[in-house]
C-alpha cells in the first residue's frame, strides 16, 4: 500500500469508525456507563499504525494469500462440515466469505444492545484494523463425497493426499472438508480472525485440526534476502516470480480448457504438508554436511560455489555433482532442465513450534504450503524425486492434505465456492 493509499485509508476508516460510534449511541440505552465509553474514533486513533492499516482486498479474480508475500503470522484451520445438506453447507461457506471480507476490510466493532453478547469478541479493541489480513479458503476431496451430491464438480486432481515414502501421517492432523489459511502482520489479528470465523460458521463447520505458523524476522543483509527456516537455511529463494502473470498462468492458476470443471478456472491446488524437523539431530551435523544436503551455503543462501543468494546454481557446469551433490535438496527439487520447467511450484511455507513431545524433544517443523496448477505434474513429481535425498533422515511429514482453492469473488454477495451452487 502506498503512503498516499494509507493516508486515504486512515482518513476513511476513521470516518467510518466515527459513523459506527454514532450507531452505538442510537442503538443502546443511554446509561451513564455507556455515555463515558470512548468513541470508536478515539480508540482507533490510539491503535492505528501503517502496518495495522495495510489492507489486502478480499475480492478479485484470484483469492489473496496465494501470491501475497507471506505475512509474519498464520494459522491453518482445517474444518469438517456437519451441515445436514448442501443448502446448509452453502450457508456456512457464505458466512465464511462474508466474515473474511469484513475482517480483511477492517471495521469498527460496534455494539448492538448492551445486554447482548457483543457482535465481535473485541480482542482487537474498538476497531478491527485490517493488518494485511488474508483469509484463503480451499476445499478437500472429502467435500465432494456423496454427502452433498457435489461429486461431479470435484476438481480433477483433487484426491486425498497420497502416502509418500518417508511419510508418517497422523489422520487427526490431516485432511478436512474446508481449509482456511489465515495470515496477518500480527498474531492477535490471526487469533481474532480464527475466533470470528468459527463464530460465523458455528453449527455448520467444526475444527478438524489447526496449526500456527510464523516467519522468522527479516534480518537482511538486504530487504530481498529470504528469511530462514528452522534448519537455519534461507527459504523461498528460488520461488517463481509472482509478478510474472504469464508464468503464474502456466504454473499456478487453473486454465480454461484444461479438463477441469468450468467453475475451477482461475483457482489453484494447495498442498499442505506438516513436516516435523528433528532439530536436535540436525544441530549435531557438521556445517559442510548440512550445506551439501541442501546445496546452498547456510549463511548467505548462495548455491555452493557461488557468491549471491540469487545466483544460478549452474548445473551444466557441474554434471558430476562435485560442487552441488546430485542428491542435494535443491538439485533434486528443481534440476532446472527444459523438461522440468513446468513442474515448478510456489512455496509459501511457515515455521512452526509446538512445544516439546513426550520425549522432551522440540516439536518444531515446517508448515510446507505449495500452490500449483496440477499436483500430479508438479508437487507429487518433485516429492517423489526427493525420496532419496539425505535430508529425509532429519524430517518426518506428519500431516497435511491436498486442497483446491477456488477462484476469487466478484464482490458481495459472492462467496468463495459459489461456483459449486451455480453449476
Ligand atoms: C522440512 C522440509 C524442507 C526443508 C527444510 C526445505 C528447505 C529448502 C531450502 C533451504 C531451499 C533452498 C532455498 C529456496 O530456494 O527456497 C529449498 C528449496 C526448494 N525446496 Fe525445499 N525444503 C523442505 C521441503 C520441501 C518439499 C516437501 C518440497 C516439495 C516436494 C520442496 C521443494 C523445494 C523446491 C522446489 C525448492 C527450490 C529449488 C530450486 O528451484 O532451486 N522442499 N528447500
CB of 183 closer than 8 Å to CB of 134:
yes
Cα separation, 338 vs 331, in Å, equals 14
Phi then psi dihedrals of residue 398, to 5 deg: -120, -10
Cα separation, 182 vs 303, in Å, equals 33
Phi then psi dihedrals of residue 318, to 5 deg: -140, 55
- pLDDT of 14 reads 32
In this prediction, residues 167-177 reach a mean pLDDT of 98
Q: Give the lowest-confidence range in 99-108, 112-121, 284-293, 299-308.
A: 112-121
Q: Cell 517463481, residue?
A: 240
- Compute CA 136 distance to the chain's CA centroid, rounded to the nearest angstrom: 7
Any ligand 1 atom below 6 A from CB of 231: yes
CB of 308 closer than 8 Å to CB of 409:
no
17-67 pLDDT, tens digit per residue, is: 333 322 333 333 445 555 566 666 565 555 567 789 999 999 999 999 999
Phi then psi dihedrals of residue 275, to 5 deg: -115, 110
- pLDDT of 112 reads 75
Distance 142 CA to ligand 1 centre (A): 28
Distance 24 CA to ligand 1 centre (A): 51
Q: 289-318 b/e with 16+ CB inside 10 Å = b? A: ebbbbbbbbeeebbbbebeebeeebebeeb
For residue 385, pLDDT over 80 is answered with yes
Distance 262 CA to ligand 1 centre (A): 32
- pLDDT of 42 reads 60
Residue that wins the pLDDT comparison between 361 and 13 = 361
Question: Number of C-alpha atoms within 13 angstroms, CB side, residue 275?
Answer: 24
Any ligand 1 atom below 6 A from CB of 282: no
323-350 pLDDT, tens digit per residue, is: 999 999 999 999 999 999 999 999 999 9
Distance 382 CA to ligand 1 centre (A): 10
Chain length of the chain: 423
Choose the residue to mutate in 164, 241, 333, 352 for probing ligand 1, maximizing ligand atoms within 8 Å of C-beta. Answer: 333
Distance 96 CA to ligand 1 centre (A): 32
Cα separation, 152 vs 35, in Å, equals 57
Residue 172's nearest CA partner among 212, 213, 209 is 209
236-253 pLDDT, tens digit per residue, is: 999 999 999 999 999 999
- pLDDT of 111 reads 73
Any ligand 1 atom below 6 A from CB of 174: no
pLDDT averaged over every residue in the chain: 91
Q: Tell me: cis bond preceding 221? Omega within 30 of 0 counts.
A: yes
- pLDDT of 373 reads 98
Any ligand 1 atom below 6 A from CB of 290: no
Which atom of ligand 1 lies at the shortest distance from residue 395's CA?
A: 1
Q: Give the lowest-confidence range in 34-48, 56-70, 267-281, 308-322.
A: 34-48
For residue 408, pLDDT over 80 is answered with yes
Distance 333 CA to ligand 1 centre (A): 7
Q: Which residues pair with 15 in a beta bridge?
A: none
In this prediction, residues 160-180 reach a mean pLDDT of 98
What is Dmax (Cα atoms) for the chain?
A: 81
CA angle (382, 387, 393) in 5-degree steps: 130
Count of helix runs (H) and strand runs (E) in the chain = 12, 11
Contact residues for 390 (Cβ-Cβ < 8 A; gap 6+):
292, 293, 327
Element (H, E) at 419: helix 418-422
Global confidence as pTM: 0.91
CA angle (328, 332, 319) in 5-degree steps: 75
Which atom of ligand 1 lies at the shortest distance from residue 382's CA?
A: 30
Strands, DSSP E only, in 323-378? 346-347, 350-356, 362-372
Q: Give the 3-state secondary structure percentages of the chain, helix then strand then coil, rounded to 5.
A: 35, 20, 45
Domain ranges, ordered by start, for the chain = 49-422
* CB atoms closer than 10 angstroms to residue 121: 14
CB of 268 closer than 8 Å to CB of 181:
no
113-169 pLDDT, tens digit per residue, is: 888 888 899 999 988 999 999 999 999 999 999 999 999 999 999 999 999 999 999
CA angle (296, 300, 304) in 5-degree steps: 30
- pLDDT of 108 reads 87
Amino acid at each position: 500500500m502506498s503512503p498516499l493509499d494509507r493516508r486515504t485509508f486512515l482518513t476513511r476508516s476513521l470516518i467510518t469508525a466515527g459513523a459506527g460510534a454514532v450507531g452505538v449511541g442510537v442503538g443502546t440505552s443511554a446509561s451513564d456507563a455507556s455515555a463515558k465509553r470512548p468513541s470508536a474514533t478515539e480508540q482507533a486513533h490510539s491503535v492505528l499504525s501503517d502496518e495495522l492499516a495495510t489492507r489486502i482486498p478480499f475480492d478479485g479474480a484470484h483469492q489473496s494469500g496465494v501470491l501475497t508475500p507471506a505475512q509474519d503470522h498464520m494459522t491453518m484451520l482445517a474444518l469438517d462440515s456437519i451441515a445436514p445438506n448442501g443448502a446448509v453447507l452453502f450457508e456456512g461457506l457464505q458466512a465464511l466469505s462474508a466474515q473474511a471480507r469484513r475482517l480483511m476490510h477492517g471495521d469498527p466493532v460496534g455494539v448492538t444492545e448492551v445486554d447482548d453478547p457483543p457482535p465481535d469478541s473485541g480482542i482487537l479493541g474498538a476497531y478491527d484494523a485490517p493488518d494485511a489480513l488474508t483469509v484463503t479458503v480451499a476445499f478437500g476431496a472429502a467435500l465432494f463425497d456423496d454427502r452433498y451430491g457435489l461429486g461431479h464438480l470435484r476438481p480433477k486432481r483433487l484426491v486425498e493426499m497420497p502416502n509418500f515414502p518417508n511419510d508418517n501421517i497422523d489422520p487427526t492432523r490431516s485432511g478436512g472438508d474446508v481449509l482456511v489459511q489465515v495470515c496477518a502482520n500480527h498474531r492477535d489479528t490471526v487469533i481474532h480472525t480464527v475466533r470470528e470465523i468459527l463464530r460465523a460458521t458455528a453449527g455448520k463447520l467444526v475444527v478438524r485440526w489447526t496449526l500456527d505458523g510464523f516467519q522468522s524476522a527479516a534480518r537482511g543483509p538486504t530487504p530481498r534476502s529470504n528469511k530462514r527456516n528452522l534448519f537455519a537455511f534461507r527459504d523461498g529463494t528460488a520461488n517463481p516470480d509472482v509478478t510474472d502473470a504469464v508464468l503464474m498462468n502456466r504454473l499456478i492458476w487453473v486454465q480454461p480448457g484444461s479438463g477441469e470443471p468450468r467453475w475451477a478456472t482461475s483457482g489453484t491446488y494447495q498442498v499442505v504438508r506438516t513436516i516435523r524437523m528433528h532439530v536436535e539431530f540436525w544441530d549435531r551435523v557438521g556445517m559442510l554436511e548440512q550445506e551439501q544436503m541442501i546445496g546452498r551455503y547456510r549463511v548467505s543462501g548462495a548455491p555452493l560455489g557461488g557468491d549471491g543468494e540469487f545466483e544460478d546454481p549452474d548445473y551444466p557446469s557441474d554434471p558430476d555433482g562435485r560442487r552441488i551433490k546430485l542428491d542435494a535438496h535443491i538439485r533434486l527439487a528443481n534440476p532446472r532442465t527444459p523438461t522440468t520447467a513446468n513442474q515448478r511450484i510456489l512455496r509459501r511455507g511457515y515455521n512452526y513450534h509446538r512445544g516439546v513431545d513426550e520425549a522432551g524433544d522440540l516439536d518444531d517443523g515446517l508448515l510446507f504450503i505449495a500452490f500449483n496448477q496440477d499436483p500430479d505434474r508438479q508437487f507429487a513429481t518433485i516429492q517423489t524425486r526427493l525420496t532419496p535425498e539425505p535430508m529425509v533422515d532429519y524430517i518426518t511429514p506428519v500431516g497435511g492434505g491436498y486442497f483446491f482453492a477456488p477462484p476469487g469473488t466478484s464482490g458481495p454477495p459472492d462467496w468463495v465456492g459459489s461456483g459449486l451452487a451455480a453449476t
